[in-house]
A and B are shown apart, each in its own frame.
Chain A
Amino acid sequence: MTDATHGVGAATPGPARVSTNSPMRLALRRLMRHRSFRVGLVMLLLIVLLAWAAPWITNGTPNATSVRVRFTPPSLDYPFGTDNFGRDLWTRVVYGARVSLWIGFTVALLSAFFGGIIGVCAAWFRRLDSLLMRIMDALMAFPAILLAIGVSAVLGPQLSSVIIALTSAYIPRCARMVRASALVIREQDYVEAARISGASSLRIILRHILPNCLAPLLVTLTFVFAYAILAEATLSFLGIGTPPPHASWGNIVAQGRDFAVEAWWIMLFPGLAISISALSINLMGDGLRDVLDPRLKIEG
């Protein structure tokens, strides 16, 4: 492929303009052609839009109770019905999106960040490797949800402790992924060349190793995002996650569980919201993996 075949992009003058064939652009173009990535992206953007517009599209008070309208089934006034305190569930579910997306995204970002640092350090400073990786192995011995339950129990029900709990559960998974990629990259000729020309460890890591680990890390990050949304919901459902009265999809389901037969709408809609969010992010993750790193294997 030459630039000429791409028309507009190639015709744009100026040195700052990156060639249309830069790997980044190519990947982006292939991503946008990937059907499930597109579907997932549109779904997620819609959810983010709803969460952002929450004050304008809901009554704006997720915790306002009203005894007169307890257990109202879905209707025009209350699209998702009301709960046992007469709170509007549409408002609560939309505000819950803020909590869930925020926690999921923060956890994914923090795990990728710390996992990335640990993984690269383990791969580059070989003396640290076995110590770091044994600690990661020990953390990995616990399924993520169990570790999160343990840490969450220690820290008590708060938003910050949910984030810390889930992050500590996903750091080892990111670290392993990055270490595996970094181990391959450090043997490449260009790293050798950088070392011979006197580049410091820090510079090699930042300039050569990290950028080349980004693709698998990005894919992992996306799946961690989806897992974290499910895990936050699970913790909140068990009563050790987002504390009431904060609306979180997990704790609304827990609350609706007692009335699941008579007032099915309380638990139905937040559950659907969790499923749709996780689904959209997983779809994006599939697209990213297919385009960036088809051989990558993700552990949950």
Chain B
Amino acid sequence: MIKLILTRLAQAVPVMLIVAILTFVLMKLLPGDPAVLLAGEGADLDKVDALRRELGLDRPLLIQLGSWLADLARFDLGRSLFLNQPVAEAIVERLPVTLSLAMVAFVMTIPIGIIMGMVAAYWRDSWVDTAVMSLALVGVSVPNFWLAILAIILFSVTLGWLPSAGYVPIDEGLWLWLRSLIMPAAVLALFQIGYLARMTRSEMLEVMDQDYVRTARAKGVSELRTVAKHAFRNALVSVLTVSGYIFSLLVGGSVVIEQIFALPGIGRLLVQAIMARDIPVVQGTMLFLGFMFVAINVLVDIFYTVVDPRVRYD
């Protein structure tokens, strides 16, 4: 067990290194010279050159990559060109918003998605199955940015129940915090609910074809008990694996949702930085998110080994 966990951790290191190098290369390809951007329009060439030297942009690429990796090891992501603060600080400031949004959406997704999938599998091929699965299909087909606008029109403009934009930190009151997140989180969760419901259903159907389920039925265990205890328990393992993946997708999706609901999270930081060509921020944010996703994958895999002892890595 310990060995497995260590192996998995060791496998994550090269992936993280590649993520870092990819991010670096991607940003080097970005059009626009940070020195020119920073110096402002109409600045004279000497000033631009001086800035370029100061930023270390005149050095060979490999050296730049090396120093970027060395800075990374010290959690130094550089300074933003426009925000007048270190990138790491900007990210840490906005992290709670994104994590709150993703967490609330996650808490909605997991039970609803699993229950929908189980209900559909239990009443397989009946109208219940058709209805639930149609709903799930709509969930994975409707673009969430569009749904977000419709939701704002309905719940904020017409009914006036929920705020249309803005984030309230949790220490200003749990209810206010939740109120500011319910709508964005629900919109964000919809796709994943559909995805999880579809996945849970097919997983359940597969498990219900297994011998041990037939055995349970044959020995007279009630159908509900068969499904809940024998089938669901076994389907749960793969459903849980997907949930880590779903959390990553929720964080990724929050980039768009934060933009619409004006939530000051990492996604909004990223999109604004892209628009302003604030390269260090784009670089830092992408890298941070990439590392976070790798870490989530590792955690899920480790969890998986704990739940299902049959899992082995080569």
**A residues lining the B interface (CB < 8 Å):** 134-135, 137-139, 141-146, 149-151, 153-154, 156, 226, 230, 233-234, 237-240, 250, 253, 257, 260-261, 264, 267, 270-271, 274-275, 278-279, 282-283, 286, 294-295, 297, 299-300
Q: List 20 A-B contacts (CB under 8 A).
A: A134-B15, A134-B18, A139-B22, A142-B286, A145-B252, A149-B255, A149-B270, A150-B282, A151-B26, A153-B282, A233-B146, A237-B145, A240-B274, A257-B149, A261-B153, A270-B146, A271-B146, A274-B142, A279-B138, A300-B249
Residues of A within 8 A of B143 (CB): 230, 233-234, 237, 250, 253, 271, 274-275, 278
Residues of A within 8 A of B248 (CB): 143
Q: Which residue of A lies closest to B192 (CB)?
A: A300
Shortest beta-carbon distance, B243 to chain A, in Å?
13
Binds A, one of B76-84, B179-187, B219-227, B290-298: B290-298
Q: Does B236 contact A (CB under 8 A)?
A: no
Residues of A within 8 A of B167 (CB): none
**Cβ contact of B149, chosen from A135, A267, A278, cutoff 8 A:** A267
Q: Are A146 and B142 in contact (CB under 8 A)?
A: no
Q: Does B6 contact A (CB under 8 A)?
A: no
Q: Are B30 and A153 in contact (CB under 8 A)?
A: yes
Shortest beta-carbon distance, B113 to chain A, in Å?
13
Residues of A within 8 A of B119 (CB): none
Q: How far is the CA of A22 from the CA of B79 in the complex (A)?
A: 63
Residues of B within 8 A of A239 (CB): 275
Q: Are A264 and B256 in contact (CB under 8 A)?
A: no
Residues of A within 8 A of B260 (CB): 257
Q: Which residue of A lies closest to B283 (CB)?
A: A150
Q: Are B293 and A142 in contact (CB under 8 A)?
A: yes
Residues of A within 8 A of B30 (CB): 153-154
Q: Are A264 and B140 in contact (CB under 8 A)?
A: no
Shortest beta-carbon distance, B185 to chain A, in Å?
17
Q: How far is the CA of A300 from the CA of B27 in the complex (A)?
A: 25
Q: Are B146 and A145 in contact (CB under 8 A)?
A: no
Mask, B137-151, CB within 8 Å of A = 1, is 110111101110110
A contacts with B: majority SS: helix
Q: Does B199 contact A (CB under 8 A)?
A: yes
Residues B126-177 near A (CB distance < 8 A): 137-138, 140-143, 145-147, 149-150, 152-153, 157
Residues B46-93 near A (CB distance < 8 A): none
Q: How far is the CA of A297 from the CA of B198 in the complex (A)?
A: 10
Q: How far is the CA of A272 from the CA of B253 in the complex (A)?
A: 20
Shortest beta-carbon distance, B262 to chain A, in Å?
12
Q: Are B29 and A154 in contact (CB under 8 A)?
A: yes
Mask, B245-280, CB within 8 Å of A = 1, is 100110111011001100000000011001100000
Shortest beta-carbon distance, A282 to chain B, in Å?
6
Residues of A within 8 A of B253 (CB): 143, 145
Residues of B within 8 A of A238 (CB): 256, 259, 271
Q: Which residue of A lies closest to B18 (CB)?
A: A138
Max chain A Cβ within 10 angstroms of own Cβ: one of B142, B149, B259: B149
Shortest beta-carbon distance, A286 to chain B, in Å?
8
Q: Are A143 and B249 in contact (CB under 8 A)?
A: yes
Q: Are A295 and B206 in contact (CB under 8 A)?
A: yes
Given A264-B153, A297-B199, A141 and B294 contact (CB-CB distance below 8 Å): yes
Q: How far is the CA of A82 from the CA of B227 in the complex (A)?
A: 53
Q: Are B18 and A278 in contact (CB under 8 A)?
A: no
Residues B4-51 near A (CB distance < 8 A): 14-15, 18-19, 22, 26-27, 29-31
Shortest beta-carbon distance, A268 to chain B, in Å?
8
**Cβ contact of B15, chosen from A137, A240, A257, A279, cutoff 8 A:** A137
Q: Are A141 and B149 in contact (CB under 8 A)?
A: no
Q: How far is the CA of A99 from the CA of B27 in the complex (A)?
A: 28
Q: Are A149 and B274 in contact (CB under 8 A)?
A: yes
Given A151-B26, A240-B274, A275-B142, A134 and B14 contact (CB-CB distance below 8 Å): yes
Q: How far is the CA of A141 from the CA of B289 in the complex (A)?
A: 9
Q: How far is the CA of A279 from the CA of B143 in the complex (A)?
A: 11
Extra pairs beyond A149-B270, A233-B146 (14, CB < 8 Å): A135-B18, A141-B19, A142-B290, A145-B252, A145-B255, A153-B282, A226-B140, A234-B256, A238-B256, A260-B152, A261-B153, A271-B146, A297-B199, A300-B249
Max chain B Cβ within 10 angstroms of own Cβ: one of A156, A233, A237, A279: A237
Q: Are B157 and A261 in contact (CB under 8 A)?
A: yes
Shortest beta-carbon distance, B299 to chain A, in Å?
13
Q: How far is the CA of A278 from the CA of B29 in the complex (A)?
A: 32
Q: Are A141 and B31 in contact (CB under 8 A)?
A: no
Q: How far is the CA of A279 from the CA of B259 in the complex (A)?
A: 25
Q: How far is the CA of A142 from the CA of B16 in the complex (A)?
A: 12
Q: Does B195 contact A (CB under 8 A)?
A: yes
Residues of A within 8 A of B274 (CB): 149, 153, 240
Q: How far is the CA of A233 from the CA of B145 in the complex (A)?
A: 9
**Cβ contact of B146, chosen from A151, A156, A253, A286, cutoff 8 A:** A253
Q: Are A146 and B29 in contact (CB under 8 A)?
A: no
Q: How far is the CA of A226 from the CA of B143 in the complex (A)?
A: 11
Q: Are B195 and A300 in contact (CB under 8 A)?
A: yes
Q: Are A253 and B141 in contact (CB under 8 A)?
A: no
Residues of A within 8 A of B14 (CB): 134
